[in-house]
Homo-oligomer: A and B are copies of this chain.
Amino acid sequence: MPAPAAHPAPAARFQPQDPGFAARCRDSFARQKAMVLIGGTIAELQPGYCEVVLPFRDDLTQQKGFVHGGIIGMIADSACGYAAFSLMPADCSLVTVEYKINILAPTVGERLVARGEVMRPGRTLTVARAEVYAEKDGRSVHCASMQQTLMMLAGRSDRPD
């Protein structure tokens, strides 16, 4: 599904180390069973950029009927993570060190879109950001912003030991 015109994917700023980055990221994402549980998918993937889409479901809500803040954090976390992972070498693993998220607006609509982008790639640490938008009736509302730090573990498998 194409990104809404209002928020196009950023122009390519990064050169991937691993030419097979796209398949590697999509394969890793597909092994995130928690993403399967909530219904999140990768809608767009470029070097240093990842967009995760989450269709609204009633079982993702908190007590007032909005999407749970932790669910918003989940898709923003994964969008940042795969934006960063796309720039890594083939033979490594990536862990989330920490993230901070501001919830900007109650989250309602047909679907959420989390756009993760690398701000600062690094040999050990990478800093990324994600913006989350709620799409409803053709409009897009900015509902959350994340700033995240990730650490690469060189030579470690991205699969269960």
Contact = CB atoms under 8 A, between A and B. Distances in A.
A63 B32 contact: yes
Interface string A122-161: 0011010100000000000010010101010000011111
B34 A61 contact: yes
A13 interface: no
A104 B159 CA distance: 20
- Which applies to chain A's interface (DSSP): helix, strand, loop or mixed? mixed
B102 A147 contact: yes
A51 interface: no
Copies per complex? 4
Interface stretch (A2-10, A14-22, A42-50, A70-78): A70-78
A99 to B, nearest CB: 6
Given A100-B147, A151-B125, A37 B34 contact: no
A64 B158 contact: yes
Contacts of A31: 62-63
Given A32-B63, A69-B96, A124-B151, 12 more contacts: A29-B63, A34-B70, A64-B93, A64-B158, A65-B160, A71-B74, A95-B106, A96-B103, A97-B103, A98-B101, A102-B127, A120-B142
